[in-house]
A and B are shown apart, each in its own frame.
Chain A
Amino acid sequence: MNKLLEISNLSVVIAEDERVLVNDVSFAIEPGEAVGVVGESGSGKTLSALSILGLLARGLKIGSGEVKFQGDNLIQASDETLRKIRGNEIAMIYQDPMTALNPVMKLGDQLLEVLNSHENSIAKPREHVLEGLAAVGIPDPKRAFESYPHEFSGGMRQRVMIAMSLLLSPKLLIADEPTTALDVTIQRQILALVAKERRRRNMSMLWITHDLGVVANLVDRVIVMYAGRIVEVGTVKEIFNSPKHPYTVGLLASLPAADSSKDKLASIPGVPPKPWQVGDSCAFSPRCWKSEENCRSKRPELSDRSASAVACFFPEGSSR
Chain B
Amino acid sequence: MSLKVDGVIKRYKVRAKKSTISALNGVSLEVKRGETLGIVGESGCGKSTLARLIVGLEPPTEGTLTWNEEVLGKSVRNSLKSHHSKIQLVFQDPYSSLNPRQTIGSCVAEVIKTHQLRAVDQVDSRVTELLSVVGIPMDMKNRFPHQLSGGQRQRVAIARALAAEPDLLVLDEPVSALDVSVRADVMNLLVDLKERFSLTYIFISHDLSMVRHISDEIAVMYLGRIVELGSWSEVLNSPRHPYTRALIDSIPDHTKIQGIDFENVLEGEVPDPANLPNGCAFHLRCPIAKPNCRIEVPALKVAKASHLVACPEVLK
Q: Residues on A close to B: CB < 8 A?
A: 40-41, 153, 155-156, 183-189, 191-192, 195-196, 210-214, 216-218, 236-237, 240-241, 250-252, 254-260, 262, 264-269, 271-272
Residues of A contacting B43 in the complex (Cβ-Cβ under 8 angstroms): 183
Assess whether B1 is interfacial by the CB under 8 Å rule: no
Assess whether B185 is in contact with A269, with CB atoms less than 8 Å apart: yes
Would you give the shortest CB distance from A179 to chain B, in whole angstroms? Answer: 9
With A and B bound together, what is the CA distance between A264 and B270 in angstroms? 34
Interface size range on B against A:
35 or more
With A and B bound together, what is the CA distance between A92 and B237 in angstroms? 38
Assess whether A184 is in contact with B42, with CB atoms less than 8 Å apart: yes
Assess whether A212 is in contact with B266, with CB atoms less than 8 Å apart: no
Given A188-B249, A257-B255, A258-B253, also A267-B265 (CB < 8 A): no
Assess whether B260 is in contact with A185, with CB atoms less than 8 Å apart: no
Assess whether B99 is interfacial by the CB under 8 Å rule: no
10 pairs of residues in contact across A and B, judged by CB atoms under 8 Å: A184-B42, A185-B42, A187-B252, A195-B259, A212-B254, A213-B254, A217-B253, A217-B260, A264-B188, A265-B184
Assess whether B252 is in contact with A251, with CB atoms less than 8 Å apart: no
Assess whether B267 is interfacial by the CB under 8 Å rule: yes
* B152 to A, closest residue via Cβ: A271
Q: Point out the residue from B256, B261, B269 that lies within 8 Å of A153, measured CB to CB.
A: B269
Q: Residues on B close to A: CB < 8 A?
A: 42-43, 149, 151, 179-185, 187-188, 191, 206, 208-210, 212-214, 246-247, 249-262, 265-267, 269-270
Assess whether A185 is in contact with B266, with CB atoms less than 8 Å apart: yes
Would you give the shortest CB distance from B162 to chain A, in whole angstroms? Answer: 20
* B148 to A, closest residue via Cβ: A271
Would you give the shortest CB distance from B146 to chain A, in whole angstroms? Answer: 15
With A and B bound together, what is the CA distance between A79 and B42 in angstroms? 42
Assess whether B255 is in contact with A258, with CB atoms less than 8 Å apart: yes
Counting chain B CB atoms within 10 Å of each CB, the highest count among A216, A250, A266 belongs to A216
Residues of B contacting A272 in the complex (Cβ-Cβ under 8 angstroms): 179, 181
With A and B bound together, what is the CA distance between A22 and B42 in angstroms? 35
* B191 to A, closest residue via Cβ: A264
**Given A187-B250, A192-B261, A240-B255; 15 other pairs, CB 8 A cutoff:** A183-B42, A183-B270, A184-B251, A191-B260, A195-B262, A212-B180, A217-B261, A250-B181, A251-B180, A254-B180, A255-B180, A256-B212, A258-B209, A265-B184, A268-B181
* B258 to A, closest residue via Cβ: A217
Would you give the shortest CB distance from A51 to chain B, in whole angstroms? Answer: 22
* B42 to A, closest residue via Cβ: A183
* A268 to B, closest residue via Cβ: B181
Q: Point out the residue from B249, B253, B262 that lies within 8 Å of A213, measured CB to CB.
A: B253
Residues of A contacting B267 in the complex (Cβ-Cβ under 8 angstroms): 189
Would you give the shortest CB distance from B170 to chain A, in whole angstroms? Answer: 21
Assess whether B182 is in contact with A271, with CB atoms less than 8 Å apart: yes
Residues of B contacting A189 in the complex (Cβ-Cβ under 8 angstroms): 265-267
With A and B bound together, what is the CA distance between A187 and B258 in angstroms? 17
Residues of B contacting A240 in the complex (Cβ-Cβ under 8 angstroms): 254-255, 257
Residues of A contacting B250 in the complex (Cβ-Cβ under 8 angstroms): 184-185, 187-188
Counting chain A CB atoms within 10 Å of each CB, the highest count among B247, B249, B254, B265 belongs to B254
* B216 to A, closest residue via Cβ: A262
Given A156-B269, A217-B258, A257-B255, also A185-B179 (CB < 8 A): no
Residues of B contacting A250 in the complex (Cβ-Cβ under 8 angstroms): 181
Residues of A contacting B256 in the complex (Cβ-Cβ under 8 angstroms): 216-217
Assess whether A183 is in contact with B262, with CB atoms less than 8 Å apart: no
Would you give the shortest CB distance from A81 to chain B, in whole angstroms? Answer: 35
Closest 5 pairs (CB-CB, A-B): A213-B252, A254-B184, A183-B42, A265-B184, A267-B184
Assess whether B266 is in contact with A188, with CB atoms less than 8 Å apart: yes
Assess whether A236 is in contact with B257, with CB atoms less than 8 Å apart: yes
With A and B bound together, what is the CA distance between A218 and B188 in angstroms? 30
Would you give the shortest CB distance from A124 to chain B, in whole angstroms? Answer: 30
With A and B bound together, what is the CA distance between A213 and B261 in angstroms? 13
Assess whether B206 is in contact with A183, with CB atoms less than 8 Å apart: yes
With A and B bound together, what is the CA distance between A183 and B47 in angstroms? 14
With A and B bound together, what is the CA distance between A259 and B236 in angstroms? 10
With A and B bound together, what is the CA distance between A258 and B214 in angstroms? 13
With A and B bound together, what is the CA distance between A165 and B105 in angstroms? 49
Would you give the shortest CB distance from A37 to chain B, in whole angstroms? Answer: 14
Counting chain B CB atoms within 10 Å of each CB, the highest count among A155, A189, A252 belongs to A189
